[in-house]
Structure 1
Amino acid sequence: MFPQERERELFDSLKQSEIANVVTKGLNPNVRMKDSGIFWVPQIPSHWKTTKLKHILVKLYREKSEDAELLVCSNKGKVIKKGDTKMGLVADNNDIYQGVCKGDLLIHGMDTWHGAIAISDYDGMCTPVVHVCDSNQNKKFVAFYLQFMALSKVFKLISNGVRQNTSDFRSWDKVGAIPIMLPPLEEQQAIVDYIEAKLSKIDSCMADLQTEIDYLKEFKQRLISDVVTGQICVAKPQKGEQQ
């Protein structure tokens, strides 16, 4: 492993810790705390309230357009266009798919544990195993909170998957029963702005590291190729030979 790859892992951990810290404690380090009644976040700011997702999310059943593009709610916490990628399964019949509008919150019922929760930047359609939601709260804050649960492996603790390394939240009732801690709307937006600014800086550093990693890997492969094809001589000079 190149040192840059280790640095990239550290940056990835930093992203996770930034999200976890502010979606559970807010931005004020001196805020008064109270018991939350939720085992994975025992203490929350005293002015936050605890509720359940069913009280703040509405599951949508959107019609899809004839030319709707297939979208995938990926485990990277992003909604991407299926296109020619191998991500996600494709059904034989488009009739099973549901519509998605830009700004919808998508929660994957089977890959929840892996962080497949995101706000869509596109109109399109997706598989029915994904819950397409609207909310009277800040949907980005809700998405960051649910991603924190995934990163903290909470979903795997509170759900039995149908196969190894899964969580089964295909049931909307089960999703609705998940507790969430909510700051006031204005504070939710401030937290979202803070997280997005932090992640943008970290992603920029990670992109620079990836460029270095790609260059080093290419250089390594080129060096190996030059050695095995004899373009670089690695034999030790014999005694009396000029080095």
Structure 2
Amino acid sequence: MSFPRYESYKDSGVEWLREVPNGWGIKRIKHLFEIKKRISGAEGYEVLSITQQGIKIKDIESGDGQLSMDYSKYQFVEIGDFAMNHMDLLTGYVDISRVFGVTSPDYRVFSVRDDEVCFDRYYLYLFQMGYRNKIFYAFGQGSSQLGRWRFPTEQFNGFEFPSPSIQEQKQIAAFLDRETAKIGALIAEQQRLIELLKEKRQAVISHAVTKGLTPNAQMKDSGIEWLGEVPRHWRVGKCGFYISILSGFAFPSTGFSDDDADTKLLRGINVGVSRLKWDETVYWKRLPNDGLDIYAMQIGDIVLGMDRPLISEVSVLQRLRI
């Protein structure tokens, strides 16, 4: 999608933003928004979760997810407030609340200082872009390896946003509402089409492997409930009559190696749908006469992934040799 250019631009002086149209201002968040911290002091309010799909009412009765022992220590979120999971700039998010409730005191709740200067939906798009494009990430602190890459208050307040006129903010937000709704509808339509195609593909495969390719072939009862009828000239027998089965070897994860000079291991995460994936590859250092030759994969082998209950071990997986 192409956008018309403004007549002239200027350097914003903000590294992540670069040029902005002439006539736009640059303002720090603290001049646009006010951080609030109002502890409820009581139970009984709707508990709000901040998800990457927006603010959701948490079902605290189901027992799913993380639950608090004392929701009276949660902070109020009023309708129209921004609520932000600033504790995790990798998987967190921000949204405007459409319901009154409470959320974790660790989150950041803030509101527009002056609605004649700041249109909330325009800035919501900016905040959400900050997460999606990882703009805020460069200003975060903490340990990203532990999923705690937070946006401290000082950096948050000092962060600079473009500030067009209130009229242009509303025009931009209305344009984005309209265009993103169209794109969302197209995505939903394509996802429905993909699901239908998946069903069709599976139906074609199922029919071909269980009924054959001859439409008028004489059929017989297979004697197997899930299979039903098969062509009369087909034989039906147990898998063991036609294939040999070899269970995998359980390799303790403590012996994994990153050295590609060692033997590559096939693990559960490497077994995808109709293909093997080698995104996360580990290796194993072979020893003389270790007895592992019988577990070696050969071209033409069929691999079935098996779920294992123990995290400490990873199987080379069950192998079926035709």
For the aligned pair, the TM-score class normalised by the smaller chain equals 0.7 to 0.9
Match of 1:108 in 2: 85
Deviation at 1:196, TM superposition (A): 0.4
- Please say if residues 72 and 87 of structure 1, whose CA atoms lie closer than 8 Å, have aligned partners that are also in contact: no
Counterpart residue identity of residue 215, structure 1: L
Deviation at 1:87, TM superposition (A): 8.4
Q: Percent of counterpart pairs with the same letter?
A: 24
With over 3 angstroms needed to count, the CA separation of the structure-2 counterparts of 1:63 and 1:166, relative to structure 1, is closer
- Please say if residues 63 and 98 of structure 1, whose CA atoms lie closer than 8 Å, have aligned partners that are also in contact: yes
Counterpart residue identity of residue 212, structure 2: C
Match of 1:82 in 2: 58
Counterpart residue identity of residue 37, structure 1: G
Name the stretch that deviates more: 63-72 or 209-218: 63-72
Structure number with greater Rg is 2
Match of 1:206 in 2: 187
Give unpaired runs (5+ residues) of structure 2.
218-232, 234-322
Give unpaired runs (5+ residues) of structure 1.
1-17, 22-26
Deviation at 1:105, TM superposition (A): 0.9
With over 3 angstroms needed to count, the CA separation of the structure-2 counterparts of 1:94 and 1:102, relative to structure 1, is same
Deviation at 1:194, TM superposition (A): 0.6
What is the CA–CA distance in structure 2 between the aligned matches of 1:225 and 1:86, rounded to whole Å? 40
What is the CA–CA distance in structure 1 between the aligned matches of 2:28 and 2:164, rounded to whole Å? 14
Aligned ranges for residues 1-243 of structure 1 at < 5 Å?
Answer: 29-64=5-40, 66-76=43-53, 78-83=54-59, 89-114=66-91, 116-135=93-112, 136=114, 137-164=118-145, 167-169=149-151, 171-225=152-206, 230=210, 232-233=211-212
What is the CA–CA distance in structure 1 between the aligned matches of 2:129 and 2:120, rounded to whole Å? 14
What is the CA–CA distance in structure 1 between the aligned matches of 2:92 and 2:20, rounded to whole Å? 22
What is the CA–CA distance in structure 2 between the aligned matches of 1:183 and 1:101, rounded to whole Å? 26
Query: What TM-score results when the alignment is normalised by the length of structure 1?
Result: 0.74
Could you say what the CA RMSD is over the residues aligned between the two structures, in angstroms?
A: 3.0
With over 3 angstroms needed to count, the CA separation of the structure-2 counterparts of 1:185 and 1:32, relative to structure 1, is same
Which one scores higher on RCO, CA 8 angstroms, separation ≥ 6? 1
Q: Count matched residues.
A: 210
Deviation at 1:58, TM superposition (A): 0.5
- Please say if residues 62 and 98 of structure 1, whose CA atoms lie closer than 8 Å, have aligned partners that are also in contact: yes
Name the stretch that deviates more: 66-75 or 189-198: 66-75
Deviation at 1:123, TM superposition (A): 1.4
What is the CA–CA distance in structure 2 between the aligned matches of 1:112 and 1:49, rounded to whole Å? 26
User: Higher helix proportion, which one?
Assistant: 1
User: Higher strand proportion, which one?
Assistant: 2
Deviation at 1:189, TM superposition (A): 0.8
- Give the match's secondary structure for 1:38: coil
